[in-house]
Amino acid sequence: MFNDIIKDRDVEQMDDNELLSLIDKERLPRHVAFIMDGNGRWARERFLPRIAGHQEGIESVREIIKVSIELGIKALTFYAFSIENWRRPEVEVNALMRLLEKYLQSELKEMMENNIRFQTIGRIKELPESARRWIEKAAHETRDNKKLILNMALSYGGRAEITDAAKLLANDLKDNKISMEEITEEFFAKYLNTHGLPDPDLMIRTSGESRISNFLLWQLAYTELHFTKTLWPDFRRREMLLAIIDYQRRERRFGLTGEQVNRR
């Protein structure tokens, strides 16, 4: 691939149109997941309250959705609030919940116009009632939209998701709805929040932290990981194009040898 011979330095110097021309539309990731990290630091650098960083981060979400539609990516998952995030100061948690509600209120029309289907993963029952109502409304009204799946992870934890799946499965087994022999990896995955969604091909974490933070533990088994120092509020179109180019230069081997992969 001619992509391989272009050095990182050259890519960094290209303008957005040149970057776009490097992207192979036939080999796009179907599903991209994001750990949107660094909002607090972005705000602190500007002597602003943390919530200003979250607010600016929403602009990044809007822009990433736009560029993903432009490219033809079919599904996005955003880690917006983890189970562990409930332990943050109450003022921050409340402000985040209000922002979520406001986002859904203002974006629903746009989602309909752009053929976006909204859905969530996580323990949605733990969210405040008013946020939940907007989530249900958005999910319901956009359910037949086809262009892009916009999946928000809210009160989400990977271990919690797997534990909840195990409980549901155990219940079905106890009630004789399923048999032990039926339980395969594919079968188990149907009990996860993400059933119906392909596993992410690419996972991007911003802000320089190289960890998973309890995100999609099952689903990331063979996902390509892209870590960038850029803080989430600064992660915009150009950063996304660079991440896709990085992804397309990887060789996904799934346990095979390089020779086997290249022979296919």
State the helix-helix crossing angle for 50-71 and 237-248, rounded to 10 degrees.
60
CA 217 remoteness from chain centre: 13
Choosing from 19, 22, 33, 38, the residue that interacts with ligand IPE (CB under 6 A) is 38
CA 12 remoteness from chain centre: 24
> Which position's Cβ is nearest ligand IPE?
40
Choosing from 60, 77, 82, 193, the residue that interacts with ligand IPE (CB under 6 A) is 82
To the query of whether residue 37 is one of the catalytic residues in this protein, the response is yes
Instruction: Compute how many residues bind ligand IPE; rule: CB under 6 A.
Output: 17
- Measure the CA angle with vertex 224, ends 221 and 226; round to 5°: 130
CA–CA dist 61, 32 (Å, integer): 13
Does residue 35 touch ligand IPE according to CB under 6 A?
A: yes
Choose the contact partner of 251 out of Mg ion, ligand IPE, none; CB within 5 to 8 A by kind: none
Q: What are the residue ranges of helices labelled H in the chain?
A: 2-5, 8-13, 16-22, 39-45, 50-71, 90-113, 129-141, 158-174, 185-189, 237-248, 258-263
Provide, rounded to whole angstroms, the least separation between the CB of residue 248 and ligand IPE.
25
Q: Residue 194 carries which DSSP code?
A: T
Choose the contact partner of 80 out of ligand IPE, Mg ion, none; CB within 5 to 8 A by kind: ligand IPE
Does residue 37 touch Mg ion according to CB under 5 A?
A: yes
Please give the residue ranges that form the binding site for ligand IPE (CB under 6 A): 35-41, 79-82, 85, 96, 207, 209, 211, 213
Please give the residue ranges that form the binding site for Mg ion (CB under 5 A): 37
